[in-house]
Structure 1
Amino acid sequence: MNSIRNRDTRAALFDGIEEGGIRASSSYSSHEIDEQENDRAIDGLQDRVAILKRLSGDIHEEVDSHNLMLDRMGNDMDASRGVLSGTMDKFKMVFETKSSRSMFTLVVSFVVIFLVIYYLTR
């Protein structure tokens, strides 16, 4: 396939050359055709470049919005981590100050109340 293209290119380059002279009309029309093909190819490339530019701009906007969303989510996670650590500190204080017997009584009473409500609603 490459050799066919090379022959066509050679034929286009040397189309107007004869022994001892150049045919002006034949080379001029071939040159015009080549320029028209080049202009069409350039227009096609310009369209593709414009499409790629728009796509890259859209990708950039999408990446920026995702980065912003991830930053917000990270900040929210930090805030919730702070709330949870404060809650855990309060639980530690409750467990350390209460006696184990009163805590056991509290837990058992909650379990019993839960079971009674469960069987009543069933």
Structure 2
Amino acid sequence: MNSRREYRSSRAALFDGIEEGGIRASPSYSSHEIDEHDNDRAMDGLQDRVIMLKRLTGDIHEEVDNHNRMLDLMGHDMDSSRGILSGTMDKFKMVFETKSSRRMFTLVAAFVILFLILYYLTR
């Protein structure tokens, strides 16, 4: 029965300091218990921040991977377009190396007509 009384008195001492503004330290608490409580709250806050930072770094890692994949695809596309462009330039060199004025006239006329058509379509 004595242990029950001690239990009640320790329980009353524990919940004695609770008010609307939060927990107030009662005189029965030692400064060591208050420091431990503050440390526990600080550790919980740090744990929440660490979890948040871990999620954030995971999201950053995922974004970096996505951007690296996009850059690789863009690099492949640039390589293929460079190949096509070099083939086209080789064909232009062949056309310009020939001394045939008829072929040159046809090429210039085609470019002028194409330019005029695009000009009137966009206007």
**Same fold (TM > 0.5):** yes
- Percent identical across equivalent pairs? 74
Q: 1:35 to 1:88 in 2, by over 3 A?
A: same
**Unmatched segments (≥5 aa) in structure 1:** 1-25
Give the TM-score normalised by the residue count of structure 1: 0.63
Counterpart-to-counterpart distance in 2, 1:113 and 1:41: 73
Give the TM-score normalised by the residue count of structure 2: 0.63
Q: 1:89 to 1:112 in 2, by over 3 A?
A: closer
Counterpart-to-counterpart distance in 1, 2:94 and 2:45: 73
Q: 1:98 to 1:44 in 2, by over 3 A?
A: same
| Per-residue deviation, 1:90 | 1.2
| Per-residue deviation, 1:109 | 7.0
**Unmatched segments (≥5 aa) in structure 2:** 1-26
Which sits farther off after the overlay, 35-44 or 90-99? 90-99
Q: Which has the higher contact order (CA 8 A, sep 6+)?
A: 1
| Per-residue deviation, 1:71 | 0.7
Structure with more helix by fraction: 1
Counterpart-to-counterpart distance in 2, 1:111 and 1:40: 78
